[in-house]
């Protein structure tokens, strides 16, 4: 009896971790998007930087016929990153919709929903959530776990998570 209870608890913990990973899709997508935006900005800054005289030598050591990647490589890299950014925007939108669909399983005005939305949609850290809601970290985790358990109690959620786990 005790072993069965431990097995069931371990399975619930595994499902909860999978749900947290699923809910983190939006955060991870946003993070990747901002990373791509920074990369594009760095390339643009690099292109706009004037060529300096650093390391200039008046003596020609040959190699004047060498052809480097030049400005074309910047344009190519920028185009590639812009394409990735557009693809990432679509991923961010889809991930947000998935997370919001799961939040709809909780009551509109519940503390659990508010905690989960602040964490998984607004991407706030636990300290900020605690200050905003005037709750301790342990109380926040209690409400998070309670919310995750409520979401997991729906069969549709379990089916979606099973599909998600199989595609990963």
**Residue pLDDT, tens place only, 113-143:** 999 999 999 999 999 999 999 999 999 999 9
**Nearest partner of 160 among 20, 29, 19, judged by Cα:** 19
> Alpha-carbon distance 115 to 130, whole Å?
9
Domain spans of the chain, in order of start: 23-43+73-103, 107-168
* Phi, psi at 147, each rounded to 5°: -65, -45
Burial of residue 92, with CB atoms counted within 10 A of its CB: 0-12 exposed, 13-18 middle, 19 or more buried: buried
**Residue pLDDT, tens place only, 38-50:** 988 888 887 777 6
CATH class of 107-168: mainly alpha
**Cα radius of gyration rounded to whole Å, the chain:** 24
| DSSP assignment letter at 57 | -
pTM exceeding the 0.75 threshold for the entire prediction: no
To which H or E segment does residue 102 belong? Answer: helix 70-103
- Arithmetic mean of pLDDT over the chain: 85
């Amino acid at each position: 009896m005790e072993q069965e209870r431990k097995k069931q608890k371990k399975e619930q913990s595994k499902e909860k971790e999978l749900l947290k990973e699923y809910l983190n899709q939006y955060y991870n997508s946003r993070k990747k998007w901002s990373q791509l935006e920074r990369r594009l900005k760095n390339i643009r800054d690099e292109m706009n930087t004037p060529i300096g005289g650093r390391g200039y030598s008046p003596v020609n050591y040959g190699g004047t016929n060498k052809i480097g990647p030049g400005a074309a490589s910047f344009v190519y890299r920028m185009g590639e990153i812009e394409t990735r950014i557009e693809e990432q925007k679509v991923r961010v939108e889809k991930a947000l919709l998935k997370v919001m669909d799961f939040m709809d399983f909780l009551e509109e005005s519940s503390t659990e929903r508010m905690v989960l939305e602040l964490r998984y949609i607004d991407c706030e850290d636990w300290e900020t959530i605690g200050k905003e809601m005037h709750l301790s970290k342990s109380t926040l985790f209690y409400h998070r776990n309670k919310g995750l358990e409520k979401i997991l109690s729906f069969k549709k959620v379990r089916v979606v998570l099973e599909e998600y786990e199989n595609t990963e």
